[in-house]
Structure 1
């Protein structure tokens, strides 16, 4: 069975922010694609590269896979407009929810940097190719993810082959954290998950945050039930 990767270009924060802003203002489908095309026109000389970048931006902020409800997407865009200084968190949530390859790569970075804020690129490549296959397409897609993380100032590259985490962003607003809980559950396509496992997930490495039951209650799409010593979140 063919594995869908989808993350086939690097992205810039300004492109992501502008695309999200258009979605928040009700610009969707072909009208959104046309605006993205115009935004990228002066950036690319290659039509193929421009089209792939447009499709990825559209995929993150407008295209709805079967498991993603439109409410999740619209809330993400609206929250970004309200908390624009924390734009990274909303792009992150959308990419987690919609692109399993992105989610897998950043989870591996989180695991590699759990005890140390640096990782060696070859270690990441070994983990990704073991899961997805040792092909040039997979390796290029991984490079696009890592470069996007650098553009978003999540990572820095102090020397060849070595990457280091930038300072983590603190997230405290319950409505943002509730939306992120929904994002990770959509990413896993899970209908229930323990709150402790959500807190322990390695995809959160760019942020300083802790999820509790009140964050679940801030999101109407989620329910929390206490079972034994843990809280189970239902989507």
Structure 2
């Protein structure tokens, strides 16, 4: 069975912010869709493109599987504590949970940036296609997602066709850092991750963490256990 890509439009960060603000007002999805449609009409006069973009925003923030609702609700609880710029930490984690294609593309970008200072969209597509299939929807979605990353400010182009990471994002809010790590661990297909790799998850390439091992141990959502003689693994606490 083919995996569903689900990302058919470039998504502006302001649209995600709007969806988040509306969610604070109402959790009724029909009302959210109507309000979001009104918000998007100036940017997207076409009804079809507006509906697709609204669908992406709603899938990230509203159409949440029951097992993810607690993560989303903790994100909402963080809103009064963070700045508008810091909201990208929340959008990133929720998008990774909502769209495996988002997580996989971010991981590919992160791995490329481990190896080199810049990359091309074609290099990302060449690594995504073997996993998601050689389909037009896959190559187009990769392009749209990379364009979204640029609009969100986590990538930039210093020369034609080549993309580089922007300055990594930092926060003084320890809870926000822990929340993102929890969300990315929940989105990861692996059941557990080596502790030493937790701060270096390639899919979290835009972010810089200041957490210590003690912070991870003190997190109610994460648990550390020893595997073998000298390897510590992190899992989501059940």
- What is the TM-score normalised by the length of structure 2? 0.89
> Is residue 174–residue 214 contact of structure 1 (8 Å, CA) maintained in 2?
no
Residue matched to 1:17: 17
Tell me how far apart the structure 2 counterparts of residues 135 and 34 of structure 1 sit (CA, whole Å): 32
In structure 2, C-alpha distance between the alignment counterparts of 1:5 and 1:191, rounded to whole Å: 22
Match of 2:223 in 1: 223
Number of the residue aligned with 1:198: 198
Answer whether contact 1:178 1:217 (CA < 8 A) is retained: no
Which consecutive unaligned segments of at least 5 residues does structure 1 have?
none
State how far apart, in whole Å, the 1-side matches of 2:207 and 2:183 are: 15
Distance 1:212 1:28, change over 3 A: farther
Unaligned runs of 5+ in 2: none
Aligned residues: 234
Q: 1:142 Cα deviation (Å)?
A: 0.6
Rate the CA distance shift 1:6–1:179 in 2: closer, same or farther, 3 A.
same
Are 1:53 and 2:53 matched, yes or no?
yes
1:76–1:90: 8 Å Cα contact kept in structure 2? Answer: yes
Query: Could you give the per-residue CA deviations for residues 155-179 of structure 1, whole angstroms, max 9, x where no partner exists?
Result: 1123332111111112443211221
Indicate the larger mover: 31-40 or 156-165: 156-165
Equivalent residue runs for 1:39-188 within 5 Å: 39-65=39-65, 68-84=67-83, 85-188=85-188
Greater CA deviation, 46-55 or 217-226?
217-226
Once the 2 structures are TM-superposed, how far is the Cα of residue 198 of structure 1 from its aligned partner? 2.0
Q: Distance in 2 between matches of 1:169 and 1:128?
A: 25
Pair 123,233 (structure 1): closer, same or farther in 2 beyond 3 Å: same
8 Å CA contact 1:96–1:102 kept in 2: the answer is yes
CA root-mean-square deviation: 2.0
Please report how far the alpha carbon of residue 51 of structure 1 lies from its aligned counterpart in structure 2 after TM superposition.
Answer: 0.5
Partners of 1:113 and 1:217 in 2: CA distance: 29
User: How much does 1:210 deviate?
Assistant: 4.8
- Would the aligned equivalents of 2:37 and 2:54 in 1 still touch at CA under 8 Å? yes
Rounded to whole Å, the distance in 2 between the matches of 1:108 and 1:11 is 19
- Stretch of structure 1 that moved more, 55-64 or 23-32: 23-32
Deviation, structure 1 residue 126: 0.8
Cα distance change, pair 188–135 in 1 and its aligned pair in 2 (3 A): same
